[in-house]
Amino acid sequence: MLCAEAEENHPSLAVAERHRRGLSRDRLRAAHPAGEEDVLGDGRSDLRSLPPSGVTPLPFTEAELAAIRVRLERREWRVEVLSGAEALEETVKAVRGPRLLHLATHGFFLVDQRRGDEETQAGLEDPLLRSGVLLAGASRTLAGAPPSGLEDGVLTAYEAATLDLHGTELVTLSACETGLGDIRNGEGVFGLRRSFQVAGAQAVLMSLWAVPDRETQELMALFYDEWLAGHDKHDALRRAQGALRRMVQKRYGQDLPYYWGAFVLVGL
């Protein structure tokens, strides 16, 4: 997890596991597979029924955060990074209006729901409880063990909506499927994007499918290069995806949108 602001604003930064809330390699640890498959894509609606072995390392996360941190500090931003055991859900909830919040981790969106007792299944019907990101301690939760801290390590969209992100210019959710949600007639899409904007974020960068670890790291470096160079966020993402698309074509010998086209940006 990474939080940042420009030096003149006395910004602070925080980093967590690959819930893409971080911009530094110093402490970040990965918690998502390399992108070939989504560990939460098996149709099960109860997150805690997933095996803890599904939370696998993201080898490129460390490089991603290191590259972003260098770019920010070069422009005299103050950055704080939290990773591994320090990437706690309670730390994320304590953040107050950073200019930038970058979470690098596992994201999840649970679609199919098991039917059963209405009382026990009622919570699963809320889409804000079926999407979120995994932070430190989530493996214990997945294994059915009690949390070692104040929180269980699973930051749901419902909880994200209660964060204080007023004044936050950008939240980057560098994880799988962070842009998905349920459509409610007359109310729009319910999911992480909506929650972070309700919390006050001006813009949210998020993904529409299970993203590959290597190319996600490359895209983030390209995006921050363009944004910090003065381009608006939407133009910066367009330029970054164009550059990554050319890299992918050269690397794999064909145009593969899976590798470069997952991320979208909403807001200003």
Rounded CA-CA distance 245/225 in Å is 16
pLDDT of residue 196: 94
User: Which of 29-33, 118-122, 236-240 is predicted with the least confidence, judged by mean pLDDT?
Assistant: 29-33
CB–CB of 267/198 below 8 Å?
no
Phi first, then psi, for residue 146 (nearest 5°) are: -70, 150
Domain that holds residue 72: 2-267
Residue range 107-140, pLDDT digits in tens:
777 765 555 555 445 545 677 887 888 888 777 7
Q: Find, among 118, 122, 110, 3, the residue nearest to 48 by Cα.
A: 110
**Would you mind telling me the total number of residues written for the chain in this entry?**
268
177 backbone φψ class: left, alpha, beta (φ>0; ψ -120 to 50)? left
> What are the beta bridge partners of residue 108?
132
Which tops the pLDDT comparison, 220 or 108?
Answer: 220
Q: Which two tokens stand for residue 124?
A: 């699963």
- Separation between Cα atoms, residue 86 and residue 187, nearest integer Å: 36
Q: In whole angstroms, what separates CA 122 from the centre of its chain?
A: 26
Residue pLDDT, tens place only, 56-76: 666 677 788 889 999 999 999
- In sequence order, the 6+-apart residues with CB closer than 8 A to the CB of 16 are 1, 22, 28, 82, 83, 86, 87, 88, 91, 92, 103, 104, 105, 135, 136
pLDDT of res. 174: 86
Name which of 219, 242, 228, 195 is nearest 74 in CA terms.
228
Count how many domains the chain has.
Answer: 1
Model confidence pLDDT, tens digit, residues 239-267: 999 999 999 999 999 999 999 999 999 99
**Domain of residue 197, CATH code:** 3.40.50
DSSP category for residue 148: S
